[in-house]
Structure 1
């Protein structure tokens, strides 16, 4: 069972980042955090690393519902979405599969929310795939 949902885009990194943010917004997600791993590794470790960004995405109504049902579910929030340049002009976009990750919590109501979040994240990925053709 995969723990992520992914696609590959043929574009530059900044364009991919903008497209991902727009697609997330269209599915009701806000960006709570944005971590530029390439920049952080250079700053903290003096290592040159490929372009790699982690977006912390959250759908506020579903996040609220999840935390109301299971107050420790916050350890799995927000949903991470990554972009990484695998080669020049080739950007992999991947998101956590929240349904799979939430299976460690034995709570059917939470599983239903995780399934809805997964469906929305799949819509993001499939929208990006469709734009790529």
Structure 2
């Protein structure tokens, strides 16, 4: 399983703010914020429901991971998607970091992935 998700009943912008605040509580900052709907509109003139990709980073975990495997950066940051569903509900989809870090054979990577996944699970549960 490469992701896990939660459904929210609130406005899109409010959901994004809520997710960012809960990420902060677990030590994650948002390094990137990609507005997919705006990009598709600008590049392809295609209308779409709100869809944002938040690139979350927990610096201590990132530092630990890069120390274990310098190539880990290709799998970073921990992406969290906030998107509006057809019914108007908001889906928040979290990268399953344990699955992603499992792609590395570096010693200690399994534990790192489990630690990061546990933090994101706490964010999921707090929403």
- Give the Å deviation of 1:107: 2.3
Q: CA RMSD in A?
A: 0.9
- Work out the number of aligned pairs and report it: 127
Give the secondary-structure state (helix, strand or coil) at the position aligned to 1:53.
strand
Question: Following superposition, which runs of at least 4 residues in structure 1 exceed 6 angstroms of deviation?
Answer: none
| 2:16 corresponds to | 17
8 Å contact from structure 2 (residues 68, 107) kept in 1: no
Deviations 1:48-77 (Å, cap 9, x if unpaired)?
A: 011000000000011011001100000000
- Give the Å deviation of 1:89: 3.8
Unmatched runs of 5 consecutive residues or more in structure 2: none
- TM-score, normalization: structure 2? 0.97
- TM-score, normalization: structure 1? 0.92
Unmatched runs of 5 consecutive residues or more in structure 1: 129-133
Cα distance between partner residues in 1 of 2:6 and 2:43 = 30
Cα distance between partner residues in 2 of 1:102 and 1:62 = 12
8 Å contact from structure 1 (residues 37, 53) kept in 2: yes
